[in-house]
Amino acid sequence: MGNISDDEKTIQHHFDSFCKTILRHQARVIYEAECILFSTLDYEIPIEDILMAQAIQSLLKRRQNTILLSFFLDMKEMDIATLMSFA
């Protein structure tokens, strides 16, 4: 009987872990659905304001990178210039 109890506990722990994994994944999907995700120079930047994101999308890629790095990641001009010269 002791083994059955241990087996049930093991199954319950596996199930709990599985549920938590699914919930974390779903929360990430919901968060990303409520924002637009920009990828620039190995950074991923979520923007929740849809109008702002659309305005940035309308820019040339180089200008998008400059704005995203400067305003959303608070990088200095010299750091941005260095990153963009290697891209």
Please state the separation of Cα 77 from the chain's center in Å: 24
What residues contact residue 48 under an 8 Å CB cut-off, 6+ apart? Answer: 34, 35
Q: Is there a contact between 56 and 68 (Cβ–Cβ < 8 Å)?
A: yes
DSSP state string for 11-77: HHHHHHHHHHHHHHHHHHHHHHHTSEEEEETTEEEEE--HHHHHHHHTS-HHHHHHHIIIIIS---H
Q: Go through the chain and tell me how many residues it has.
A: 87
In tens digits, the chain (87 residues) has pLDDT values of: 456 788 888 888 888 889 898 988 887 777 666 788 899 888 899 998 889 999 999 999 999 999 999 999 999 999 999 988 876
Give the model's pLDDT for residue 41.
85
